[in-house]
Amino acid sequence: MSNLLALTRKTNTNNNLSETSQSLEAQCRNCTPITPIYCITRCKVYRLKNELRAVHVRMNNPNYVNELLNVLKNDVRFHILQTIANGRYSVNKLQKELTKTGHRISQINIRDEYLHPLMAIGLAAEERNEYYSTTFGSRIAEMLGGLPAFAEFLPARSEGYEETILQFLLSKPKTFAEIKEIILPKPISRTLKRLRSAGLIKTRVKSDYIFFFKSRRDPNKENFTAAEQQIYNAVDLDGISAGMLAKKTGFSMRRTYKILRGLKGKKLIFTRRTPKVYELTCKGTKLATTLRAIRQIVNETWNSSEQVMQETPLTLKVGGLSKNAFR
C-alpha cells in the first residue's frame, strides 16, 4: 500500500495516475481486513481514496486553480504546508515551529487563518487534533520546495491575471495585443507594470521600433542612384530598422535616413511601427514553469479522483469485500 502512495505522489502523467487509481481499486477488492475498523483506521489505500473523493468535490469549481494559488501566496501558510508535509503537527507544535522563524501567531489564528484555508482547498487534513498534508498537498509542497520565495512573487489576493500572463509568455514572447486577447482589457497595463516591477517580465531592448518595408511598386519603373539601390536591396521582406540598414550598408545614420526619405518619396518603401514585445526574465520563466507544474498536478489529481468516484461501490465484510454499497 505504501508503494501505491509513493507512486501517486511522484506520478508525472495522467496515464500513470489512471493505472494507480485502477491499482487502488484492485487493492481494495483483494484486501481481507481482520475487522472493518482496521480498514477504516489503518488502511492507507482507503484513506487515499477518501482524500481523492474529498478533493474531487473541491476541484469541481472553475475558479479552483486561482483559489489554490491565492491560498499558497502567503509565506506563513506556505511554511506550514512545507512543515506538515514532513509529519503530523498539533497547533501547539506548529506555533513553536513558527516562533523559530520569527512568526509570533496565536494558536487560534494559526488554526483559523492558516490551517483552515489549506484544508478548505484540499492541501491539508486533520485527525485527532493533528494536522498533516494530503497526498495532493504533499505533491504540491514537494514541487514548490525548489521555489521557496513563491509567495513573495505574486499579489496575495488576485484574479489570476499575473499567473495567466506568465504562463501565456512561457511558449514565446508576445505583443500587447496578443496579451490583451487572453484577459480583460482594463487591468492589463497595471498587471504588466507589476510583473515588470517584480522582475518577472521585460520588454525587448530596442532603441527604435520603426521598420521599413518594400512596397509593391515595380522598382524597374524608377531610376535609382547607387546609394538608393544599395539601401533598397538591403531592405528585408520582413522589414528592417534604419539602424540595421546603416550597419548592413555601411552608411551613416544621417545619410541612411536621407536615402530612405528619397525612396519613400518614390513610394518604393513604407514604414510600420512594430509593437512592443514582452518576454519572461529568468526568474519569470522559473515561476511560469512552476505555475504550469501546479496546474498539471491539479489536472492529474482531478483525473485520478474522477476514476475513484466512478468505482463500483464496495461493502466491507470481515475477512473480505463484496460488491454492494460500502464507500
Residues 6+ apart with CB under 8 A from 56: 302, 305, 306, 308, 309
Enter the C-alpha cell of residue 149: 520565495
pLDDT tens-digit profile, the chain (327 residues): 333 344 344 443 344 445 555 565 566 566 655 555 555 455 667 777 888 888 888 998 889 999 999 999 888 998 999 999 999 999 999 999 999 988 899 999 999 999 999 999 999 999 889 999 998 999 999 888 877 667 677 877 788 889 999 999 999 998 888 888 888 766 788 889 889 998 999 987 554 568 899 999 998 888 899 999 999 999 988 788 888 899 999 999 999 999 999 999 999 999 887 777 899 999 999 999 999 999 999 999 998 888 888 765 544 444 444 343 334
How confident is the model at residue 317, as a pLDDT?
Answer: 44
Residues 6+ apart with CB under 8 A from 312: 323
How confident is the model at residue 251, as a pLDDT?
Answer: 94
Residues 6+ apart with CB under 8 A from 291: 69, 163, 166, 167
Q: Which of 216, 239, 214, 240 is nearest to 229 (CA)?
A: 214
Enter the C-alpha cell of residue 293: 507544474
- Tens of pLDDT, residues 77-118: 989 999 999 999 999 999 999 999 888 999 999 999 999 999
Q: What is the four-CA torsion angle of 84, 89, 90, 91, rounded to 10 degrees?
A: -40
How confident is the model at residue 200, as a pLDDT?
Answer: 92
Q: Which of 267, 213, 279 is nearest to 240 (CA)?
A: 213
Residue 125: beta bridge partners? 132
How confident is the model at residue 2, as a pLDDT?
Answer: 36
* Torsion sign, CA atoms 253, 259, 264, 269: negative
* Distance between CA atoms of residues 295 and 140, nearest Å: 10
Helix (H, G, I), strand (E, B) or coil at 227: helix
DSSP-derived secondary structure letter, 276:
P
Q: Which of 296, 315, 316 is nearest to 304 (CA)?
A: 296
How confident is the model at residue 13, as a pLDDT?
Answer: 39
How confident is the model at residue 25, as a pLDDT?
Answer: 58
